[in-house]
Structure 1
């Protein structure tokens, strides 16, 4: 048996071990998004799903969870809960990228990039002191 084929319960599963283009991909769940070459809708949905997960990770990384008036135990639990969600989303994106599909990879990188931009731009607008804009 070579490295590309794995036998599981008398069925053969082929795993891609290098980047490739194409809609015939399985990510996160078996038979999802499917391999119907005539209907690209599920593949496009998978791209949006990976983009959304990667996007959601970035605001969670800058979201303030500790309130000065709250209990330290409650604040710690809230922060731990958000951390668990962020790490879970990160593992989902990692597993999706491990499908080695270039479209999924681009969707993940684009989601992280847009999410980073939105999260940092909103964080900077909150911390920006009021006053006139500097003119150059």
Structure 2
């Protein structure tokens, strides 16, 4: 068990007992997977924003019936995607909380790559609806 300080070890348990690393290959492979998780997290955020803007679904003020909006397919899809985004976000946070420098770098790298790939259009949009 590691103390709550950053370390460079290669023996790590990541999220689940079955996801263990014991060598450099394991840390490297896990880091690649974590980078992908971070990119997927950013992609989900941007896709939810895209859905909000492209369907003219207003997340704050609405002119149509709130009951119709509550049970619309877009809102249900947004809710499911929001749940997935929360789960991924907590997974990434827990991975970072291993305090393993390599895994922390992988989390930040994945989210940075994801932002770079998916948020470039969003930077022109002042209204970050549903983000």
Given the two structures, how large is their TM-score scaled by the length of structure 1?
A: 0.70
* Aligned counterpart, 2:3: 16
* Aligned counterpart, 2:28: 44
* Aligned counterpart, 1:65: 51
CA distance in 1, matches of 2:18, 2:80: 31
Greater Rg by CA: 1
Q: Which runs of 5+ in 2 are unaligned?
A: 58-67, 126-131
Q: Which structure has the higher relative contact order (CA within 8 Å, separation 6+)?
A: 2
Residue 27 (str. 1) matches residue 14 (str. 2): yes
SS in 2 for 1:44: helix
8 Å Cα contact 1:59-1:116 kept in structure 2? yes
* Aligned counterpart, 1:9: none
Greater Cα shift, 95-104 or 15-24:
15-24
User: Which of the two has greater helix per residue?
Assistant: 2
Q: Which runs of 5+ in 1 are unaligned?
A: 1-13, 128-136
The equivalences for 1:89-100 within 5 A come to: 89-100=88-99
When the two chains are superposed, the root-mean-square deviation of aligned CA atoms in Å is 2.2
Q: How many residues align?
A: 109
The CA deviation at 1:122 is: 4.9
Q: Deviations over 1:81-113 (max 9, x none)?
A: 111111110011011111110000000001111
CA distance in 2, matches of 1:41, 1:33: 11
The CA deviation at 1:123 is: 4.7
Given the two structures, how large is their TM-score scaled by the length of structure 2?
A: 0.72
8 Å Cα contact 1:54-1:109 kept in structure 2? yes
